[in-house]
A and B are shown apart, each in its own frame.
Chain A
Amino acid sequence: MMVPPKKDNVFRALDRKLGAVAEFTMRQYRTKLSTWVVLGVGFIAIAIVVLFYVDSMQQEIEAIDNDGDSADWDGDGYPTGQERIYGTDPDNPNSHPGTFTPPIAPDPPEKWINEDDFDWDLSATGDTTTGYDDDGDCRLADTTQSQKDRNRNNIYCDIALDYSEIRGEWAEPRSDGFVDEDPDEEKYGKEAIHRAFLLAIGKMGFVFLLGIFLPLFLATGLIREEMENSTMHFMLAKPIARRDIFLGRIVGYLGVVWPYIIAMGIIVGLISGFAGPGDGLFRFSDLGMWMAIIFATMLATLVYGMLFCALGTLWKRGIVLALPFAAWELGMAILSFNAPSASILRFSVIGWSLNIIDAASLIIWPNLELFINMGLWGGGYSSNYWGSELAGADALSAFASNTGLGISPVATIVVSTIVLLFQALVLWIVGSAVFKGKEIE
């Protein structure tokens, strides 16, 4: 019987055959117009969202005086807040700190807008008390006892945070009167919109749009088009296993898609790092998020690439399966925002990929949920709890979600990665088995 060829070593063998197929595939992509159209349109789509983001970062968020103490009701030139601190009557034009000796100069009204910003301890875990009355209007002598401890936790001028172990989420914050009631909209809104942008562009822009449509366009025909064009005959007549051809084609496809995703991630990451809010010139703290976004998208394109290539191999009209699957994944993506722990998500690819980004967001921004709650509470000045929310809080709450696995973020990333790699492996085995048993005319 024939002795199978002796391999010199694994890597050298891979370079000889697999490397050749991969290199060939990449060069083939380069010559196709459709590749450039698809990559270009992907860039434009992401760029549009980035433009909106940069634009919104440049715009000032209107500062709202929630408690109305910047107004000078009595017309004496002193804002109400200043008068209350000094104990003069805000409604009496003759009673103001100017009558003091020495007279105190009136504050500009802007000083009494956004004067009581959030002082929350965002690292809080479990039931806790937080907040500080910056402008001192809670601690004034004329504030009644019931106002000072409206949340009845026996601590004056604080905000009580209750963590529900059962539901695994923060309850509505309960505040004492006049505490953190006039937060800085600009400061919170910019930060919230920035975080929401990262989550939205990462989850919907990168993982969903790029993650599904790049493989749909680029990977579905990897084997099928060669078979249809009958150029596959050349390759099949060479001593290379079909499994290796399948893998080599996928590697070549990844050789195009992965650098593209990494480049896009770096470009958008740089733009958002410079344009985003923060004290420094560049937001280095987001780097982890971008790494997670790029990583999750790379894994998604790997699994989808294997899947769509296998579907294309399996069936002349593999697209009939691929398109509904893509729509299914969009449905799963939408579902994951609302019900991240739904078990049906375990049967999708996108659910696992989004888990990685969600988990990373929880590592990089601990207690993101509390941050969202803070914005939704927004000073609590409105009679309606949800009516006083700050700009960006809604957006952030829409795009952020828990990981849904009920384990720590790091474990979520590890588990999701393993699951995705496992999916890719299974699809590779199935795809190449299909290809191997395929009769090709």
Chain B
Amino acid sequence: MMPDLQQVGQAQTQQWAPEVSAPVVLLENVSKTYGKIHALSEITLALSGGVTGILGMNGAGKSTLFNLLMGKLKPSSGSIKLFGTDPWKNPAPYARIGFVPEHEKMHDWMTAHGFVSLFARLNGLTREEAKVEAERVLEFVGLTDVAHKQIGRYSKGMRQRVKIAHALVNDPELIVLDEPLQGCDPLARTTIMNVIRELGKMGRTVLVSSHILHEIERITEQIVILHNGRLLALGNLHAIREKMDNIPHTISIGCENPKKLAKDIINNDAVFGISFPSGDNLQIQTHNLNEVHKELPSLIVDNNHKVSSIDNPDDDLGSILAYLTGGLG
């Protein structure tokens, strides 16, 4: 579906290699304070490869983290390394980085092609190389048809895609997207998510921030959760969920006769609660998801239940965040 992200116009300034052993993003004890307000405190993080979702509510420090990564802010303490280089007052690492800011304002008077090729030139391409490069990335985000229209006439989703396109010039290794899905309609969302997933598959390191949980879930399983400037969780979404096994899980089963199924399933020790949200649905509450899942298939088959669906409705980021932050308020 996606065109090949093959480098066409390779700039000279690109011809340097990052420190091989260094992770793409490395934060060590990074704090950022504004007076008494701690926007970020003691963040230690190393990321390389794949799509990582940065989750946190408004004010959790996502944007501060990105601004630190992009050298717009100076860390109050700790060190930040991108490809092994400190980005503050040093734009060199940005040759390998694409950044999609969250701000909506753009140069509305420019065409998408003009906009992208401008930033391609800032990446060190010459005018002609930049043109070719702009066409390539605009095709990648699916804007070739409208590339020569003014950005001011674009819809929000198209604008977001232009921003992503501008970040993709020169084939960056690290792509940082700050709230890329904000304010987009479902169609634009899907397109952008596909683009991000595609980038992940290509082996790029992608950081996506969001406070909308379902979005990230649809893009990636690797997450970083920030709350009040602190690192709350890090790793695979499901793994994190599994670790919290003292917290009840809910399994939702759609079936013809929920009451009968409930009768059979209540005997399992792991199940401690059952409810019937509707006539053809059953919810099981358990401490041990694995055990229930292990037993459930045999139970269904043995008792000849007609089951239409089995879901874990709160095995999503929302419940994880809620549980994790519940104590912190």
Indicate if B259 sits at the interface (CB-CB under 8 A).
no
B221-249 CB mask vs A (1 if < 8 Å, else 0) is: 00000000000000000000000000000
Distance A31 CA – B95 CA, assembled complex (angstroms): 29
- Residue-wise, chain A 227-259 has the 8 Å CB interface mask toward B (1 for contact) of 001110111111111100000000000000000
| Interface segment out of the listed A4-12, A116-124, A422-430 | A4-12
- When each residue 95-106 of chain B gets 1 if its CB lies under 8 Å from chain A and 0 otherwise, what string results? 101110101011
Known contacts: A31-B109, A237-B70, A440-B72. The answer to whether A16 contacts B125 by CB under 8 A is: yes
- B-facing residues in A103-120 (Cβ within 8 Å): none
Is the beta-carbon distance between A441 and B123 smaller than 8 angstroms? no
Would A240 and B103 count as touching, CB distance under 8 A? no
| B window 71-96: CB within 8 A of A | 71-74, 83-85, 89, 91-95
**Contact in complex: A2, B16 (CB < 8 Å):** yes
How many Å from the CB of A237 to the closest CB on chain B?
4
Instruction: Say whether, besides A4-B16, A17-B122, A230-B105, A237 and B99 are in contact (CB < 8 Å).
Output: yes
Pick the interface stretch among A20-28, A136-144, A298-306, A323-331: A20-28
Count of interface residues, chain A, beta-carbon cutoff 8 Å:
39
Q: How far is the CA of A3 from the CA of B18 in the complex (A)?
A: 8
Report whether A17 and B121 are in contact in the complex, using a CB–CB cutoff of 8 Å: yes
- In the complex, A279 has a CB within 8 A of chain B: no
Contacts A16-B126, A240-B91 given: A233-B16 contact, CB under 8 Å? no
Whether B12 lies near A7 (C-beta < 8 A) is yes
Chain B residue nearest to A8 in the complex (CB): B12
Hey, which chain B residues are within 8 Å of A240, CB to CB?
Answer: 91, 122
Asked if A1 lies at the interface with its beta carbon under 8 angstroms from chain B, I say: yes
- Cβ 8 A contact of B13, one of A28, A230, A239: A239
Please determine whether A5 and B12 come into contact, CB atoms closer than 8 angstroms: yes
B residues near A236, Cβ cutoff 8 Å = 70-72, 91
Which chain A positions have C-beta within 8 A of B118? 20, 23-24
Tell me whether A15 is interfacial, beta carbon within 8 Å: yes
State the Cβ distance, B73 to closest chain A Cβ, in Å.
5
Which of A6, A238, A439 is the one whose CB lies under 8 Å from B122? A238
**A439 to B72, alpha carbons, bound, how many Å?**
5
Contacts of B163 in A (CB 8 A): 234
Verify if B11 is at the interface (C-beta below 8 Å from A): yes
Interchain CB contact (< 8 A) of B94 among A16, A229, A238, A436: A238
User: Contacts of A437 on B, CB cut-off 8 Å?
Assistant: 89
- Asked if residues A20 and B122 are in contact (CB atoms below 8 Å), the reply is yes
Q: Is A19 part of the binding interface, using a Cβ–Cβ cutoff of 8 Å? A: yes
Please measure, in the bound complex, the distance between the C-alpha atom of A400 and the C-alpha atom of B101, giving whole angstroms.
55
Q: B179 CB to closest chain A CB, in angstroms?
A: 13
User: How many Å lie between the Cα of A7 and that of B12 in the bound state?
Assistant: 7
CA separation between A319 and B179, bound complex, in Å?
Answer: 34
B109, B114, B118, B122 pick with most chain A CB within 10 angstroms = B122
Quick check: A231 and B105 within 8 Å, CB to CB?
yes
Residues of A within 8 A of B154 (CB): none
Say yes or no for B19: interface residue by CB 8 A criterion. yes
With the chains together, A3 CA to B83 CA distance in Å? Answer: 11
**B34–chain A nearest beta-carbon distance, Å:** 10
Q: Which one of A17, A24, A28, A234 lies within 8 Å of B124 (CB-CB)? A: A17
**Given A8-B12, A233-B72, A239 and B124 touching (CB < 8 A)?**
yes
Residues of B at under 8 Å CB distance from A?
11-19, 63, 67, 70-74, 83-85, 89, 91-95, 97-99, 101, 103, 105-107, 109-110, 114, 118-119, 121-127, 130, 163, 166-167
* 24 A-B pairs whose Cβ atoms sit less than 8 Å apart in the complex: A2-B92, A3-B17, A5-B12, A5-B14, A5-B16, A5-B95, A6-B16, A7-B13, A13-B124, A19-B121, A20-B118, A21-B122, A230-B103, A231-B106, A233-B99, A233-B101, A234-B106, A235-B122, A236-B70, A236-B71, A236-B91, A239-B93, A437-B89, A439-B73
Known: A19-B121, A20-B130, A233-B101. 9 other contacts (CB 8 A): A1-B85, A7-B13, A12-B126, A16-B124, A23-B118, A27-B109, A236-B71, A239-B122, A437-B89
